[in-house]
């Protein structure tokens, strides 16, 4: 998300009277809100990956293993 450019564009549009009051701020607020969420999710995914690496370190590497519905692949 190129937020810097977006902010500049939004500034220019509100100067020309194309945005109602508060639309710019609320949109930028939403972008930052979802950026935070995205980072949180990324963090969660990283943590889970670390956990799983530790749990499955003894499994054979470089092969796709199936346990019922679940599939596990440990990279070599």
Partner 1 sequence: MLTGVIAAMSQLFTSPFMVDVEQIRKEHKGARNHRDLDRVASVKLLNDFIQLESVPDSLRIKAQNLVKSHSIHEAKSEKLYKELTSLKKSKKVKGFKNINLFLANFGNPLFIFVTGLLFIFLYRFRKNIDWKNLVKSFPYIGLMYLFVSLVYLIWVFNPRREIEFGYYITGILFASIFAVIGLKKLLMHLFKINNIDIEKEKLLKAIRILFKQLLKTNFDKGFVKEEKIGDYIETSNETISKVNREIKS
Contacting positions for partner 1 (CB under 8 A): 1-2, 5-6, 9-10, 12-13, 16-20, 23, 26-27, 30-31, 34, 38
Q: For partner 1, which is the closer residue by CB, 33 or 50? A: 33
The least distance separating partner 1 from the CB of residue 66, rounded to whole angstroms, comes to 26
Determine phi and psi for 18, rounding to 5 degrees.
-95, -10
| Smallest distance, partner 1 to C-beta of residue 63, A | 31
CB closer to partner 1 out of 17 and 68: 17
3-class state of residue 11 by DSSP = helix
Question: Are the beta carbons of 6 and 25 closer than 8 angstroms?
Answer: no
């Amino acid at each position: 998300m190129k937020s810097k450019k977006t902010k500049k564009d939004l500034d220019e549009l509100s100067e020309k009277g194309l945005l109602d009051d508060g639309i710019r701020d609320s949109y930028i607020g939403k972008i930052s809100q979802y950026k935070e969420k995205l980072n949180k999710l990324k963090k969660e995914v990283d943590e889970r990956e670390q956990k799983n690496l530790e749990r499955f370190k003894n499994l054979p590497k470089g092969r796709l293993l199936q346990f019922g519905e679940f599939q596990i692949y440990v990279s070599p």
